[in-house]
Structure 1
Amino acid sequence: MILGKCPYCGGDVIERKTVVRGKKAKLYTCENARKEYDDSEQFVFTSDSTCTFRIYSNALLRYNKRSIGSNEIKNLLNDGQIKVRLHGRSGSSEYFKYAITDKEYGISILWDEECD
């Protein structure tokens, strides 16, 4: 399923199912970003990859956001940012922040920006 256009190269962003550290997750990646396991079992980009865009659905798990859905990725690609609901350490408090694409991490939280 095509979710939108890649912000880096203009290719199609697609959704793939994968396993990350033994847990099932979705990978939202550019069709031009190809990865494979090398000899040392590291998951690296292939020599014919022309893009590095990728976001794992569990990328914001450390902020107690369970998963990033395909609708959120569509909005992120169309608008350049999305509002995400995050939770405190105990899970009781919740707050909203904006998230944008990031070359190194896939997605980043704008901590200094306030959501209305």
Structure 2
Amino acid sequence: MILGKCPYCDGNVISKKINVKGKNIKLYSCENAKKEYDESEQYVFTADSTCRFRVYSNAFLRWNKRSFSENEMKNLLNNEQIIVRLHGKAGTKEYYKYVITDLEYGVSVLWDEEIEERA
């Protein structure tokens, strides 16, 4: 499924289901960011890969956000930033932060930007 245009190379960002360490997750990646296993069993970008933009749906798991949805990814690609709801370690406190695209990490949280509490 095509979610939008890559912010770095203007290729299509596609969604596909993958299995990582026994967990089914979604990978949102530029069609030009191709990876494969090399002879040492490392998962590396191919020689013909011209982009590195990739986001895994579990990118915010450490902040107790179970999944980054296809809809959130579409909004991020269209608007260049979105607001996501994250949670503290105990899962009791919730807070909102801006998220932007990042060429190296896929997405980055803008920790220094404050967002007023949402109802």
Structure 1, residues 70-91: CA drift from partner, whole Å, max 9, x if none? 0000000000011000000000
Residue 21 of structure 1 and its aligned partner are, at CA, apart by 2.3
Q: Which amino acid aligns with 1:33?
A: A
Q: Return 5+ residue gaps in structure 2 as ranges.
A: none
- Note the residue ranges of structure 1 that are not aligned, 5 or more in a row: none
The Cα shift of 1:22 comes to 2.1
In 2, distance between residues paired with 1:41 and 1:18? 17
Counterpart in the other structure of 2:74: 74
CA distance in 1, matches of 2:16, 2:62: 22
Q: Which residue of 2 aligns with 1:89?
A: 89
Identity, % of aligned positions: 69
Question: What is the TM-score of this pair, normalised by structure 2?
Answer: 0.94
Equivalent in the alignment of 2:63: 63
In structure 2, what residue type is equivalent to 1:94? E
| Residues in 2 aligned to 1:104 and 1:22: alpha-carbon distance in whole angstroms | 25
Cα offsets for 1:34-63 (capped at 9, x unmatched): 100112221110000011110000011011
The residue that corresponds to 1:7 in the other structure is: 7
Letter of the 1:64 counterpart: N
SS at match of 2:49: coil
Equivalent-residue separation in structure 2 for 1:88 and 1:75 (angstroms): 24
CA RMSD of aligned residues (A): 0.8
